[in-house]
Structure 1
Amino acid sequence: MRAIRERTGVRTDAVVVGAVVVLVVVAAVVGRRLLAAGVDIFLGWPPLLAEWLPHVGPGTPAAVVVAVATVAWGPGLAARLRWGPLLRAGFAAAFAWTVSLALVDGWQRGVVERLTSGEEYLHDVPRVAELGGVGPMLRVFADHILTTAVDPAQTWFWTTHVGGHPPGAFLVFTVLDRIGLGSGGAAGVVVMAVGSSAAVAVAVTLRALGHEDLARRVLPFSVLFPGAVWVGVSADGLFAGWLAWGVALLAIAAARKSTVVAVGAGAVLGYALYLSYGLVLGALFPLAVLVATRRWRLLVPALAGVAVVVAGFTAAGFWWGTGYADVKVIYAASIAATRPYGFFVWANLAAVAFALGPATVAALSRVRALPRAAGLLVGAAVAAILLADLSGMSKAEVERIWLPFAVWATLACGALPRPRAWLLAQAVVALAVNHLLLTVW
């Protein structure tokens, strides 16, 4: 009976992955036809924001070595190592994977230039000093979100990524500049380090929820996360790491019944709201933790932590609601205006499939085999992705925008048999994307 169930499960995995492959192919064909028809969807290689450019780089040998080592020894080491050394090894491997993938495009193009272009955060950092410092900048931040395209009276406006996000993200890069890490290379390394740490945060969360065995099975998949292609280097990778640690802290608070840790978790999660407007959907993950643990009394101190952050930004002169309203205005007048909702509402799912990889896609059909807490977190990831998709505020580029949600979907991989085969599939997808395409942001 067990053999029959396993064969049925394998067939289901194949059907699910096959269906997603068909979805990707259809998205590519329809996207090409839209471009041929003169519809400017601003995608060089639909459904991804990328260009066809087969290439190798200095990161190629390292990426292959990390992939082979993780596939060959990752599951065994994850099962045997003591917890502390395992987390350190997991972070080192995830960081090496992300950096090596970025370096496939070379140090300059793959790392330095990703955060220094005219659309990025570091471009606007000098404006903070021009405005008189962080305080004055926060007071006028919302005044310069709208572009001249929607407000002809505007004298100047923030670059695309600065104005398109709350000021918390911009503050991170401003602080990095103040402490001597404001170059594209240094900031890029920081972004990759924080993004890679999401693998550890997910494992810490699972252990705090009482599922260390599952955490050990999942960690190699978190290491070879195909979305690492976009973690290195985009600020969305940093957002993914930040949100993941907020959820991990809340899980620790629940395990220890600690009000103090819950306040800290709330503060981290509250700051996530000021990294990206879309991270309001990140509330589904701490909610999943509270539902799983039934530690509802921690909701009050956690909300208190959130409130402190919200109060701080509001007192400094930035109101989240005003910023979001302005961003909706410029989004409607941006390239999103020519990106048809009817196409992207399903093509987005094809794009995010590249970040999830075939293992996660297949594993989503096995969620019922997971412990309840893990199933809730995977469900939160799927719900966040679907809600973001239906909102119409993410038409394309979701392979990076939805990284903060995608890292949690990887939990489902803990239910897969034959982990080495699936890890190999994950690595092949990431290596193929990074070597055949030139990705953006």
Structure 2
Amino acid sequence: MTRSHRLPVVGLVVAFLLAAAAMLVPAVSGWNVHVNSFPPLHAEWLPRLGPGTAPALLLAALASWRAVDLAQRASWRALLAWSFVAALAWMVALAYVDGPHGMGAILDSHYEYMNTARRYPDFAAVLPDWVSRITYARTPHNWTVHVAGHPPGATLFFWLLVRLGFDTGIGAGWVLVVLVATTPAAVLCTLRVLDAEDAARRAAPFLVFGPAAVWSAVSADALFGTCAAWGVAALAVAATRTSWAARAGWSVVAGLLLGALVMLSYGLPVMGVLCLAVLWLARSWWPLPITAVVALGVVGVFALLGFDYLQALKAIHIRYYEGVASRRPPSYWMWANLGALVFSAGPLLGAGLGLLLARARTLVRDPATRVVATLALAGVAMVVLVDLSQMSRAEVERIWLPFEPWLLLSVALLPESWRRRGLVLQLVVALLVQHLLQTGW
């Protein structure tokens, strides 16, 4: 076995062992890690079939048969259109294993944003009081779990949906899934702008198909990832344009999207690592000041309306450890969070990262692999930072969603035989997770 084949094997084995250990350690030892009955996932064992089973199996078969070849041979515009349609169909089919209920039940739960969004006709009026309602001190007037755990931009998105008439969980779910289906196209565009179209074509099937779709169809975190992906794509365009007007215009677009991202999740400013990687690859720091000023301007608008971001960070830290997180042992979750990443991104990620991490210096120096290796390494750095923060113990299968497309770029480094077989593995894992587990987010 050559070294190029041995390294992915090691990575794949490590991924399987990590996921298996995260499952078996609590089960065998009786260790209560304070999550639903299938750690490391927030899920319960519930084997079932449903209306989406047959379409999901058909899509998996078609993807196994044609996706790799189609990604290589299609025109660029056709590839982008295909990535959107296929991602949308895959997410909806998996969600519909539970019927229409699968598209909206989670968004309608007490812990999510929709109930709060319906309750307040004047959103700006609640911003001055936002921080004081994060901790449990004002029970029963404190925000629910997800509203408290995120800046107001996340709730604002659903507030806008309600005002536009998408006031049910199913209605909001359809809007969410259509937007999230554009994420692969955003990542592909970023790669092409950075002169890595061949890598984009190799990565495309894995950005579309995989177990991440189980959570993407029903989680706002996937929407946050979409916002991040298009913000990074706009930044890449800004960094590679030649005219001043184009660079300035795209820098403003990037700043608006990345500023919105800061107001969607407290954990996603770490996307700055990816943004710096893009500018380094483009060999242009020109967009940085404009993008940063515009992004800060977005945050400033919320501040003018009464939301204090820095005070909110302090309050969310208090709220987090007032809840179940204080009982979730870090000695388990520091590494079990990565086991959840294997479930969510799919085990082939281990093969890609095995090759990437073992040959990082060589891959970054090689012009043919520099872009994909650098972006994937930025993804690794972001996951490490989030994990070390200790502000995400458990339920991270959805929290990892914004980072997974960039991590999965490492799969483009694998030999073709690995990618063809690996896509089948990714599809099988997705089908098993959705049909055997009732996921909580």
Is 2:225 aligned against 1:236? no
Counterparts of 2:377 and 2:299 in 1: how far apart (Å)?
Answer: 27
Q: Which amino acid aligns with 1:46?
A: P
Q: CA deviation at 1:388?
A: 0.8
Q: Which has the higher contact order (CA 8 A, sep 6+)?
A: 2
1:95, distance to aligned residue in structure 2 (A): 0.9
Partner residue of 2:321 out of 319, 324, 332: 332
Q: Distance in 1 between matches of 2:19 and 2:124?
A: 46
Task: Give the counterpart letter for 1:244 in structure 2.
Answer: A
Distance in 1 (CA, whole Å) between partners of 2:383 and 2:312 is 22
Per the alignment, residue 131 of structure 2 pairs with 142
What TM-score do you get using the length of structure 1 for normalisation? 0.93
Which amino acid in 2 is paired with 1:318? F
Residue aligning to 1:168: 153
Q: 1:225–1:357: 8 Å Cα contact kept in structure 2? A: yes
- Secondary structure in 2 matching 1:296: coil
- Assess, with a 3 A threshold, how the Cα gap between structure 1 residues 142 and 291 changes in structure 2: closer, same or farther: same
Structure 1's 82 and 304: CA in aligned 2 closer, same or farther, altered over 3 A? Answer: same
Determine if contact 1:188/1:232 at 8 Å carries over to the other structure: yes
Give the C-alpha shift of residue 128 in structure 1.
1.5
Alignment partner, residue 305 of structure 1: 294
Which of 334, 358, 368 does residue 345 from structure 1 map onto? 334
Aligned pairs (5 A) from 1:6-405: 7-33=2-28, 36-37=30-31, 39=32, 41-108=34-101, 110-129=102-121, 133-147=122-136, 151=137, 153-154=138-139, 156-257=141-242, 258-367=247-356, 368=360, 369=363, 371-405=369-403
Which residue identity does 2:109 align to in structure 1?
S
Tell me if structure 2 keeps the 8 A contact 1:246–1:268. Answer: yes
> Which amino acid in structure 1 is aligned with residue 200 of structure 2?
A
Matched-pair contact (CA < 8 Å) for 1:194–1:242: no
Amino acid at match of 1:345: M
Contact 1:144 1:158 in 2 (8 A): yes
Structure 2 CA distance for aligned equivalents of residues 377 and 429 of structure 1: 25
List structure 1 segments (4+ residues) > 3 angstroms apart after TM superposition: none
Question: How far 1:322 sits from its partner (Å)?
Answer: 1.3
Instruction: Deviation per CA, 1:94-130: give whole Å up to 9, x if none.
Output: 111111111112211x11211011111001113312x
Letter of the 2:330 counterpart: Y
Classify the secondary structure of the residue corresponding to 2:438.
strand
2:406 aligned residue: 408
**Uncovered stretches (5+) of structure 2, i.e. residues with no partner:** none
Distance 2:290 2:279 in 1: 13
Describe the superposition over 1:343-368 as per-residue Cα deviations: whole angstroms up to 9, x where unpaired: 10011111111112122210112334
Whether the aligned pair in 2 keeps the contact of 1:231 and 1:237 (CA below 8 Å) is yes
1:414: Cα distance to partner?
0.9
Q: Could you tell me how far 1:70 is from its partner in structure 2?
A: 1.6
* Deviation at residue 154 of structure 1 after TM alignment: 4.5
1:40 positional shift: 5.2
1:80 is matched by which residue type in structure 2? R
Distance (Å, rounded) in 1 between the aligned partners of 2:35 and 2:94: 24
Distance, in Å, in 2 between the alignment partners of 1:165 and 1:114 is: 17
Structure 1 unmatched runs, 5+: none
Which letter maps to 2:282?
T
CA contact (8 A) 1:249 1:265 kept: yes
The equivalent of 1:427 in structure 2 is 427
| Alpha-carbon separation, structure 1, partners of 2:290 and 2:371 | 21
User: What is the CA–CA distance in structure 2 between the aligned matches of 1:15 and 1:335, rounded to whole Å?
Assistant: 35
Moved more, 137-146 or 85-94: 137-146
Cα offset for 1:412?
A: 0.9
In the alignment, is the contact (CA less than 8 A) between 1:273 and 1:279 conserved in 2?
Answer: yes
The percent identity for this pair of structures is: 40
**C-alpha separation between the residues in 2 aligned to 1:312 and 1:15?**
49
The alpha carbon displacement at 1:374 in A equals 1.8
Q: Over residues 138-183 of structure 1, what are the superposed CA-to-partner deviations in whole Å (9 max), with x where a residue is unaligned? A: 2222221112xxx1x5451111111110000000000011111121
Q: Do the aligned residues in 2 keep the contact of 1:105 with 1:438 (CA within 8 Å)? A: no
Shift of 1:317: 0.8
CA distance in 1, matches of 2:112, 2:422: 35
Q: Distance in 2 between matches of 1:98 and 1:64?
A: 12
CA contact (8 A) 2:12 2:349 kept: no
Preserved CA contact (<8 Å) 1:31 1:47: no
Q: d(CA) in 1 for partners of 2:146 and 2:34?
A: 19
Bigger drift between 380-389 and 7-16 goes to 7-16
Tell me the amino acid that sits aligned with residue 295 of structure 2. Answer: V
Aligned-pair distance for 1:33? 4.7
**What is the DSSP-based 3-state SS (H/G/I as helix, E as strand, rest coil) of the residue aligned with 1:438?**
strand
Q: Deviations over 1:66-102 (max 9, x none)?
A: 1221221112111121111210111100111111111
Q: What is the TM-score when the length of structure 2 is the normalising length?
A: 0.93
CA distance in 2 between partners of 1:231 and 1:84 (Å) = 24
Question: Are the counterparts in 2 of residues 229 and 434 from structure 1 also a CA contact under 8 Å?
Answer: yes
User: Which letter does structure 2 place at the counterpart of 1:434?
Assistant: Q
Q: Secondary structure at the match of 1:404?
A: coil
- Distance, in Å, in 1 between the alignment partners of 2:27 and 2:155 is 35
Q: How many residues get paired? A: 426
